[in-house]
Every structure is written in C-alpha cells, then in structure tokens.
Structure 1
Amino acid sequence: MPTGIIESLDHEARGITRCDGKTVFVEGALPGETVDYATYRRKPSYDLARTLRVLEPSPDRVTPLCPHFGVCGGCSMQHLDPVAQVAAKQRLLEDNLRHLGRIAAEQLYAPIYGQPWGYRYRARLSVRLVVKKGGVLVGFHEKRSSYVADMRQCEILPPHLSAMLLPLRELIGKMSIRDRLPQIEVAVGERVTALVLRILESPSATDEDLLRDFADRHGVVFYLQPQGPATAWRFYPLDGPRLSYLLPDFAVEHFFSPTEFTQVNHAINRVLVRRALALLDPRPGDRVGDMFCGLGNFTLPIARSGARVLGVEGSAELVRLAAENAAANGLEDRAEYRVANLFTATPETLAALGHFDKMLIDPPREGALELVKSLGADGPQRIVYISCSPATLARDAAILVTQKNYRLRGTGVVNMFPNTSHVESIALFERTSNQVSNNENTTLS
C-alpha cells in the first residue's frame, strides 16, 4: 500500500503526488495531506488511484454533506471547504494562463461565489430499471461507471427536486414503459419546474393518468421527448406559466424551453452578468458584438444599457428564440441577431458582421480559437471573455496578447458549479499599441 504527500489538485480535483518519478492522481486527496492510496489504473506516464486512508488531513478537509459522496459521480469536491474550493479553482486558472498561455493577468478579480448547495436548476438525470436494487433508479451516474447511483437525495439540487427523487422512482416503477424511459431532464424556472421524460415508447393511457396525478401533487410540468431535444412537447398541464429566469438588475426576463441551454446556477448567473457588463461598460452609441450569444443571456442586458448589440449564434432555432426574447422585453430595436458558425470564423466572415466597439465572447469548452485569430487591426477596443475551460481560455488569451495587441487586464473565477471541479472564469482584454511598456507584465518568458 503506497503512501504519498499530496502536492496540489489537478483539473478534476484529484490530488497529485509522485511515486518513483511517476505522477499519481489520487481521488479524494487534498493538497498537504499524507494519504495511503490504491492504484486502479496504470499508464506509461502516470497512475490513477483512490484514497484508502488519510494519515495527515488538510485543515481544509470537511465532512461531505451528501451521503452519496464517493459513489455518485456528480460531485468531486464536497470534502473540501467551499472557500478553499474557490481558491483551488483560482490557482488552476492562474496555472493554465501561466503554463499554457505563457501570460499573466494584470489584476486578479475577487471570485464570484455563493451558496454551495441547492443551486443546480438544470440537471440531466439517468433512469434505469434495476431489479436487483428493488426497481427503478433515478439519479446521476456512479463515479467512473455507466451505472446509475442509488440516490435518495441530492444536495446540489434545489430542495424540492431532491425531495422528488424517491417519488419519481415510485412513479416510473408503476409505468408500463419503466424500461423504455432512460432519462429525465430537469429545468427550474421562476414560476415552474419542468421534467422532460425521454421516452423510447409512447406511454399508455394508464401511464398518462399517473403522470397527470404526479404533476398535480408535486406542482410540476411534464414534457415528453420521443427523439431529439427539438421533439420535446408539453404534455401536462397544457396551460400555466412558461419557464423563465430573471435578471432584475437589468429588468430582463428570459423565456426558454426545458431542453435549451441556460446557466444552471441562477444566483451566480445574475452576479456574472452584472460583472460582465461592468467590465464591458457598454454605452449609448457603442456597437457591441455578443459572440456565442445563445438565448441572449448577455445580449439583452447590453441592449438595456443603450448600446446597439448584435448577438451571433450558430443555431438558427436559438437565434429565433433570442429574437422573441428581445421583443418580449421591448429591446428589439437595440438587439439584433444573426446565425453564423463562429468555429469556422475567418477575417472575411467576421468583417461581414461589421465593426464592433466592444465584444463579449462566451464560447463552449472548445473556446473561440478561430474567432480570436480572425480579429483584425480594427477589432474591438475591449473584450470580455467568459470561459468554462481554463485551458482554452489560456490558449485564446495567448493569441489576443501576443498576436492581436491586447492586454489581459484582469481575470477571476466564477464558481458556477460548487462542489464540482468545473471552473468558469471571466477575463477582460483591452487593445493596446504595438509597444507594451515593461511594467505591464502580461507575457511570461
């Protein structure tokens, strides 16, 4: 049984130690700890292991709140104090900028974080009929497994959803299609909770009665999804409020359907939008580009500032819905949208969108490589970049700083997913001259 001293955490919140010159990633171990561990997978350059016993615990180690921690794969950091989680994510962001991008920010922003529990307003729950475990299971997958965890509660879901896990198991166990219903997608709005049942077979009349009774008793709306996300339709009740979330600082309400992407953490999203707008500083007379705009999470607040904004998104359906949201909020005169594949952007396709004084970039994990490479000499004076991957942010930031004459003014983490290893961040870039003064310290040799 090997023993190791943990040096740091990797991007999946595993402890890092060394054994005979080889890196070992140890699940459940924290920096500064001495642990006994067992290796479960060996690779030529590294090993994967799990903690067996903590000999010298970190002062930041806490007792996980969830009884399923260690089995369920939904969270990996519940054993680390929430404030220490944020600090670890900030270090990971800085390390990626330093080692992958060879740059450093001029300023580190105060991290954005909030309540560590009950925050997940979007979730995709797996469903399995497992006779050996007494019937239907509803929950996240087990760690390193395709099996569904035997969950009776979930501390990161809102309390009313956590309390619904066992009733959902009972409901589906009574249905004729219990083995033909592999997934439930959950979306919580301001006034309604939607449950989207992925069905491989149409429910019977008795099944439909069971769903209606459950919806009435638990105050939810059921959608049925026979194929892809676009096929989801509202089953019951047919009337009532739509899904939406509010950005009260900007008097904006976003309407959405349960299969469309929205931020999972509504409280943190409000703070994130507020900071993004403060850094971007859109003003009347500015023309702003909102790249990878989705439903307009940032587009409409930018428009509310008085600036003119063009939201660009690859999905025609999202652009249609974003335009509807602009009209619903009375902002259609200042917010327009266009369909474009930003992953294949070129200087010519970007120029065709017109000049932008400022730009907000909010890409998926793949980042915005072709977009930032396509920025020309008349590019926006200021760019706010929202990232869900420190590695692709570092890559894109290096291009902006070393090739496009921007300064990385500041960056900081956004703890959108507490108790998980997911790192979201925000960065501000400002265009500078070709000559950067020696004290700006934005590139590392």
Structure 2
Amino acid sequence: MPAVVVESLDHEGRGIGRCEGKTIFIEGALPGERVEFESYRRKPKFEQAVMTSLLRPSAQRVVPRCSYFGLCGGCSMQHLETGAQVAAKQRVLENALWHLARVRPDVMLSPIHGPDWGYRFRARLSVHEVPGELGVLVGFHEKKSSYIADMKSCEVLPRALSDLLVPLRGLIGSLSVSDRIPQVEIAVGEAQTVLVLRNLLPLTAQDVSRILAFGSTHGVDMWHQPGGPDSARPLDDTMSAWLEYSLPEFGVRLRFKPTDFTQVNIQINRILMRRSMQLLDPRPGERIADLFCGLGNFSLPIAARGASVVGVEGVASLVQRAAENAALNGLAQRSTFQVSNLFDATPQSLARLGKLDKMLIDPPREGAIAVCKALGNDAPRRLVYVSCNPATLARDTAVLVHEKGYRLRSAGIANMFPQTSHVESVALFERD
C-alpha cells in the first residue's frame, strides 16, 4: 500500500497528499498524518482514495461521537476537533478567494461559532421500506450511495428529534402506504416542531388516526404533503398553519411553513445576522436591496434599523411570506417585495429597482454571477454578500473586484454546519 503525509484538507473535508507527482484526495485523513491509502478513482493528475491505515495520527484527531460516522453521509468531519474544523473552513474560503479570484480581503473576520451538536433545526430524512428484518429505514443516505443508512440516532439533530428516528420507522411501517412515503421533512420553530410526511398515495382514515396519535404521544405536529411543497398542510385542522422564529436583537419574528427555506442553525443565523448588519450598516433614509430575500430573514432587520428595503426573490410563495412578515412586524411601510428571476438579472432589471445606497446578496449555491455582471456605474457603494459556497463566492468576487471596481474589505466564515465540510461565509465589498 502506498503511504503519504497529508498536507491539508480540501473543500469536502478530504486529506490532500502528494504521491509520485499526483495529488491524492484521501477520505478520512487529516493534515499532518501519515497514512496508507487505496485509490478508487485515478486520473492523470489526481486520484481519489480512502485511508486504509493510519500510521501517524494527528493531535487534532478525535473519536467521532456518532456511531454511524463513516457510514452515514450526513457528516464528514466528526473525526476532527471542532476548533480545527473551523480553521480548516476558513482556509477553504481564503484559498478559494485567492486561487479562483486572485483576491485577498483586507481583513479576515473572526469565525462565527455556535453549538457543535444538536444544532440542526430542519432536515429532510429519506424513507425506504426494505423487505425482511430491517423493515422501514428513516435517515440520511449512506456515504456515496443511494441506500439509506440503518441509523437509530443522529447527533446533529436535537435530542428529541434524534429519539424519534426509531419510533418513526415503526409508525411508517404500520401505514397502508408504507412503501409510498419517500421522505419526512423536519422543521423546528420556537413554539412547536412539525414532521411532514411526503405521501405519494392518499392516506386512509386509519393512517391519519395513527399519525395523529404518534404526534400526540411525542409532542409534534403532524403534516402531510400529497403533492409539491405548497400542498403541505396539517393533518389536524386545529394545528397551527405556521411555525415561527425570532431575531431578538432586531425585535422581529418571522413566520414560515415547514417546507419553506430557512436556515438550519437558528443560533448561528442570529449571530450571522448581527455581523451582516454590522457590515451593511443600514441607516434611516437609505434605500437598500435584499436580493434572494426569501421570507425576509435579512430584509426585516434592515427595515428595523430604519432603512427602506426592497426585497427580490424568484419564488412567489416566499415573496408573499416576506410581505406578510413585514406586516406582522409593523415594517410594511419601509418594505417592498417583488418576484424576479435573479439568475437572469440584467442591467435593465436592476435599474428598475431604482437608486440604491447599499445591497445585500444571499444566493443559493449557484451564486449570483448574473447580478454581479449586471451592476452598473450607479451600483451601490457597499455590498454585503452572504454565501453558502466558497467557489461561487470567489467566482463572483473576481467580477466585483476586477470588473466592477469593488474592493474586498473583509470576509469570514460562520460554522453553520458543524461536523460537515459545508462553509457559510460573509463578505463586505466597497467602492468609491
């Protein structure tokens, strides 16, 4: 077996070593370790491999808390001490900005930390009925596989939800449509927790009775989703049709449906909100755009600081939710929202937003390249970019800095998904 010394981690949490002129990406290996490996994919310049033997361990290696680590594909970094995880993610951001954009920020912001375990307030669990002893499986997919891990607990879910994995298997197995429920959506609000069963066939009256009894026993609201996300609804009409979370620092609360996009980690979201508002610095009299605004997560704090905000989002149901949340918080007079496909943004479509003093962009993983290219000479002098993908942030940074005249003043990460390789980040751009 070949052996290498691992030099660093890549953006997926794999160790990077070099052997015979090739770069080797090794699953399970950490920086500073000497390991033996076995390759499963070979290319002329690189190989992908798994660690087969640990010859010299890193001082930062720890015993994974979850017994399913390595099998379940939900986490990839439980074997690395959490402080070292954060440092590795910051290096991923720095490397992406330099190698893809040839830019370094004037200031690297201190990383945003939060709970390392039990932080995941929303999740989509896969479901599959397996003939034989296993019965119904409920959980995340196995690593690099379409199979569902046979898991009975999950350390990144809140304990009460982790404890429901086994009872959920029993519940779904008892239903007449047990083989036609492909997923369960988990959404946690401040007042209640909702489980949404995606059912591809109608539920019988007995199914409904069993599901509601399960919810009553375990203190969760039970919903079902017979069609698309907008079809999700409570199985009992007396249940609330909304969940809610608050941003106490800004005095706002936001209502959402279980199938709406919200941040997974509510504690980190609050701290990220504070930092984003510090960087954006919204002030009374300013007019600020919130692009990819969702249900108003950033829009409402901007308005609460006294600025006027125009939120733009491509999903009509979220735009409606954002407007409702603005009204709920008494911020409707300082908030307007509109539906627009920002992936097709043009100078003309941005000009229709009117004169803007500042802008906040919070795109999905695909980034906001069309928006960045569409910015003109009258673009806002200050732009805050919240990203869930360092690669697309770096690509868009190259446009903002080298083509649009912005300077990258600061950037930093938020550890939104501890134990995984996911990197959330925020960056501040300014120009004269």
TM-score by length of 1: 0.95
Partner of 1:51: 51
Is residue 40 of structure 1 aligned with residue 44 of structure 2?
no
* 1:221/1:237 contact within 8 Å kept: no
Following superposition, the deviation at residue 94 of structure 1 comes to 0.4
Q: Which shifted more, 70-79 or 391-400? A: 391-400
Which residue number corresponds to residue 157 of structure 1?
157
Give the Cα–Cα distance (whole angstroms) in 2 for the partners of residues 123 and 239 of structure 1.
Answer: 21
Q: Within 2, Cα distance between the matches of 1:316 and 1:239?
A: 25
1:94 and 2:94 aligned: yes
Contact between 1:285 and 1:308, CA under 8 Å: does it hold in 2?
yes
Residue 333 of structure 1 aligns to a residue whose secondary structure is helix
What value does the CA root-mean-square deviation take over the aligned residues? 1.1
- Please give the alpha-carbon distance, in whole angstroms, between the structure 2 residues aligned to 1:203 and 1:343: 38
- Do structure 1's residue 257 and structure 2's residue 257 form an aligned pair? yes
In structure 2, the CA distance between the partners of 1:241 and 1:227, relative to structure 1 (3 Å rule), is: closer
Q: How does 1:238-277 map to 2 (within 5 A)?
A: 238-240=238-240, 242-277=242-277
Q: CA deviation at 1:241?
A: 7.2
Shift of 1:222: 1.2
| CA distance in structure 1 between the aligned counterparts of 2:282 and 2:360, rounded to whole angstroms | 10
CA drift of 1:42 comes to 2.4
Structure 1: segments with no counterpart, 5+ residues: 433-445
- Name the SS of the counterpart of 1:360 in structure 2: strand
CA distance in 2, matches of 1:231, 1:318: 15
Contact 2:407/2:430 (CA < 8 Å) preserved in 1? Answer: yes
After superposing on structure 2, the runs of 4+ consecutive aligned residues of structure 1 that deviate more than 3 Å are none
In structure 2, distance between residues paired with 1:430 and 1:370: 19
Q: What residue number does 1:436 align with?
A: none
CA apart distance, 1:133: 4.3
* Superposition deviation, residue 385 in structure 1: 0.5
**1:68 maps to which residue?**
68
SS of equivalent residue, structure 1 residue 41: strand
Amino acid at match of 1:317: S
- Aligned residue number for residue 22 of structure 2: 22
What's 2:207 paired with?
Answer: 207
Please give the alpha-carbon distance, in whole angstroms, between the structure 2 residues aligned to 1:127 and 1:41: 30
Residue 338 of structure 2 is matched in structure 1 by: 338
Contact 1:276 1:384 in 2 (8 A): yes
Amino acid at match of 1:116: D
Alignment partner of 1:166 is 2:158: no
Change (3 A) 1:276 1:377: same
SS in 2 for 1:425: strand
What letter is aligned with 1:400? L
Identical-residue share of aligned pairs (%): 59
C-alpha offsets along residues 381-407 of structure 1, whole Å, 9 cap, x if unaligned? 111100111111111111111111111
After superposition, the C-alpha distances for 1:179-235 in whole angstroms (9 at most, x for unaligned) are 111100110000111111111111222211110110101111111111211111211
Contact 2:33 2:55 in 1 (8 A): yes
- Partners in 1 of 2:240 and 2:12 — Cα distance? 41
**1:61-140 matches, cutoff 5 A:** 61-140=61-140
What is the SS of the residue equivalent to 1:296?
coil
Q: Quote the offset at 1:176 in angstroms.
A: 1.4
**CA contact 2:62–2:80 (8 Å) conserved in 1:** yes
Counterpart Cα distance in 2 of 1:344 and 1:382: 22
Is 77-86 or 14-23 further displaced after alignment?
14-23
* Contact 1:191/1:241, CA 8 A, preserved across alignment: no
Partners of 1:311 and 1:133 lie apart in 2 by 51
Matched residue SS, 2:213? helix
- Letter aligned with residue 67 of structure 2: P
- Measured against aligned partners, the alpha-carbon deviations of 1:233-285 in whole angstroms (never above 9, x if no partner) come to 21136334731111000111110001110000000000000110011000000
Kindly indicate whether the alpha-carbon contact (under 8 Å) linking 1:192 and 1:241 is maintained by their aligned counterparts in 2.
no
Q: Post-superposition shift, 1:373?
A: 1.1
1:319 counterpart = 2:319: yes
- The aligned length equals 432
Partner SS, residue 235 of structure 2: strand
Does the 8 Å CA contact 1:191/1:242 hold for their aligned counterparts? Answer: no
Segments of 5+ residues of structure 2 without an aligned counterpart are none
Matches within 5 A, 1:292-441: 292-432=292-432
* Contact 2:97/2:394 (8 A) holds in 1: yes
State the secondary structure of the residue aligned to 2:137: strand
Taking the aligned partners of 1:176 and 1:37, their CA distance within structure 2 comes to 47
Report the secondary structure of 1:236's partner residue: coil
2: distance between equivalents of 1:398 and 1:202? 50
3-state DSSP class of the match of 1:378? coil
* Deviation, structure 1 residue 44: 3.7
Report the TM-score, using the length of structure 2 for normalisation.
0.98
Would you say the 8 A contact 1:215–1:236 is kept in 2?
A: no
Deviation per CA, 1:30-76: give whole Å up to 9, x if none: 01100111222223432221112211111111110000000000000
Deviations 1:86-108 (A, max 9, x none): 00000010001100000100000
- Secondary structure of the residue aligned to 1:264 is coil
Q: 2:108 & 2:127 partners in 1: Cα distance?
A: 42
Alignment partner, residue 438 of structure 1:
none
Counterparts of 1:37 and 1:401 in 2: how far apart (Å)?
41
Does the aligned pair in 1 maintain the 2:289–2:356 contact within 8 Å?
Answer: yes
In the TM superposition, residue 131 of structure 1 has moved relative to its aligned partner by 2.3
- SS of the residue corresponding to residue 91 of structure 1 reads helix
Deviations 1:18-39 (A, max 9, x none): 2221221110000110011122
- Residue identity matched to 2:377: A
